[in-house]
Chain A
Amino acid sequence: MSILHTVNKSPFEKSSLNSCLGYAREGSSVLLYEDGVYGAIKGTAIADKISGLSGVKIYALGPDLKARGVSPEKIVDGIEVVDYAAFVSLAAENDKVQAWV
C-alpha cells in the first residue's frame, strides 16, 4: 500500500518533515509544498537526511519554490520538481495521503 506524505511546514520551525521522513517507507512518496519546500535546499542537516533515504521518492512543488526564490540549482539532487497537476496525480496514484500539517 503506497502512501503520499505531504509536508507544508518549514523543517527549521516544525518537526513535521523530520517525523515524516521517519515514517516514509520504501515505495512511498514525499511531497514538499508551501514552507515545506525549504527542506529541499542543499547544504542543510535535513538535506543530508533526505539524501540518505532509499526507495522513497521526494517531490517539491515548483510554484512554491519559485515564490520563495529557491532556484533549481539549489535543490538537493534527486528531488523532482512538480507542478499542481502532478500534485493531483500523485494524490490519485497513491492509495492514501498522509498530510504532516
Chain B
Amino acid sequence: MSEIIKKFMYINRRAPYGTIYAWEALEVVLIGAAFDQDVSLAFIDDGVYQLVKGQDTSEVDMKNFSPTYQALGDYDVTKLYVEKESLEERGLTLDDLMPLTYEDEDDDWAEKDSIKLMSRSELAAIMDEQDILFSF
C-alpha cells in the first residue's frame, strides 16, 4: 500500500505503572503497526522496567498490560532493543525480562528472540539510522 517505508523508533524511558507513558507508547506502537513501516522499540533508563517478567497488578487496581508485549511479534514489531547499561544500573539482567519472541517468515517461521541487548553506543548508532523518533 504505502510506497515509502520509513524507519520508526519508539523510545521508552519510563517505568510501567507510575505514569501513563508506557501504556500510551504501547497503544501508539500497536496503531502504528497497521501502517507497514519499519518499526523498532528502544528501552532505555526506567523503560527497561516495562519488560520485567512476573508483573502482577491484582493488588493495585491497575491493568497489567505486560502481556501485550508478547503480542507485538504478531504485528511484525520484532525489534525490541534493550540498553545494557540501563539494565545494569538497575541491578537487572536479561533473565529478569519476559522472554519475547516472533516467528520469522523469511526463515521458515523459526521462533526468534525479539529482545536485542544493545550497548548505549550501539543503540545510539541505530537511533541515528532512524527516520522518525517517538519519545515516551
Contacts and interface: CB of A to CB of B under 8 A. Distances in A.
Nearest to A13: B46
B46 A10 contact: yes
Interface string A22-54: 000000000000110010011111010000000
- Give the interface centre of A38, A44, A63, A68 by most chain B CB atoms within 10 Å: A68
Contact of B18 (A8, A44, A66, A74): A8
Contacts of A42: 91
A67 B62 CA distance: 9
A58 B101 CA distance: 38
B52 interface: yes
B43 to A, nearest CB: 13
B91 A41 contact: yes
Contacts of A10: 15, 18, 46, 49
A55 interface: no
A68 B15 contact: yes
Interface of A: 8-10, 12-13, 34-35, 38, 41-45, 47, 62-64, 66-71, 74
Range class of the B interface residue count: 20 to 34
B90 A71 contact: no
Given A13-B46, A69-B55, A70-B52, 7 more contacts: A8-B18, A10-B46, A10-B49, A35-B46, A41-B91, A69-B52, A74-B91
9 contacts: A12-B45, A13-B14, A13-B46, A35-B18, A35-B46, A43-B91, A64-B60, A67-B62, A69-B52
Contacts of B46: 10, 12-13, 35, 38
A67 B59 contact: yes
Contacts of B18: 8-10, 34-35
Closest A-B pairs by Cβ, 3 of them: A43-B91, A63-B59, A35-B18
B59 A68 contact: no
Interface string B58-69: 111010101000
A60 B52 CA distance: 18
B55 A68 contact: yes
A8 to B, nearest CB: 7
A74 B92 CA distance: 10
